[in-house]
Amino acid sequence: MIIGVHVPDVDPLQEAESLGAECIQLFVGPPQSWKKPPPREDAEELRKASIPVYVHAPYLINVASPNNRVRIPSRKILKQTLEAAEAIGAAGLIVHAGHSEDGIEHGFIRWRKALEEVKGSSVPILIENTAGGDNAMGRHVDTLAKLWDEIGDLDPGFCFDTCHAHAAGEDLSDVVPRVLKAVGKIDLVHCNDSRDKPGTGADRHTNFATGNIDEDTLLDMVRTAKAPAVICETPWPGIADDVEILRTKL
């Protein structure tokens, strides 16, 4: 398992080098915008990088929404972000599972349609578990299992976030085996501690030394996932200490 970090968009490879990161994650456009990601001046450098580069999709994306003003632009920006990820040779595009306000069963169908629209991309989509919300498509493991029953044949990837599982109120002692049973495999781990108590639904990452997830539990989730890579999305500059903990204790 290689260890990496979510880096600022300016000079990401230099930021990775400063921490000894073996992979990186970044945004290719504004994370809170519907605007098409602009071409990156460092696209060729990222494409030729010696370490894997992951892309996180904008937070606004919700392909499961029944609201046309959300779902349609979500599909559009998902495709555009996927194209931007292809331009830099990304190892994967992480997308939050979203919410289906009119019921998760409808959300399953909308996710399938969204994936069918981008089928054939060279960059795999990694659906990420989420922290909270009603009618969430990825907050609870049993919902993920139902989602994969609908879309599993399209071979989506999965990104497991430790903070989100904690915030969702899942039992962390066995959550990873249950996730693996639901989705088949975990392609990437986001290792983050949580600022808030379990079950609050609050997606607030914090550094390992200051959060509410026991360190041994945090590390055990990462180990059990058996993913090829783990990425910290914790605050800077404390992220350096988090990376060191992963490097020395995994």
- In a domain, residue 19? The reply is yes
Q: How many domains does the chain have?
A: 1
pLDDT above 90 for 101: yes
- In a domain, residue 208? The reply is yes
Strand partners for 194:
205
pTM: 0.97
Distance CA 234, CA 45 (A): 25
How confident is residue 106, by pLDDT bands cut at 50, 70 and 90?
very high
pLDDT tens per residue, range 40-95: 999 999 999 999 999 999 999 999 999 999 999 999 999 999 999 999 999 999 99
* Predicted pLDDT at 10: 86
The Cβ of residue 223 has, within 10 Å, a number of other Cβ atoms equal to 15
The Cβ of residue 121 has, within 10 Å, a number of other Cβ atoms equal to 15
CATH code, 173:
3.20.20.150
* Residue ranges making up the domain that contains 209: 6-249
How confident is residue 9, by pLDDT bands cut at 50, 70 and 90?
confident
* Predicted pLDDT at 124: 98
pLDDT tens per residue, range 176-227: 999 999 999 999 999 999 999 999 999 999 999 999 999 999 999 999 999 9
Per DSSP bridges, beta strands 193-194 and 205-206 are antiparallel
- In a domain, residue 44? The reply is yes
Sign (positive/negative) of CA torsion 19, 25, 30, 33?
negative
- In a domain, residue 134? The reply is yes
- In a domain, residue 67? The reply is yes
- In a domain, residue 87? The reply is yes
Q: Which two tokens stand for residue 96?
A: 């939050």
Burial class (CB in 10 A: 0-12, 13-18, 19+), 240: middle
- In a domain, residue 1? The reply is no
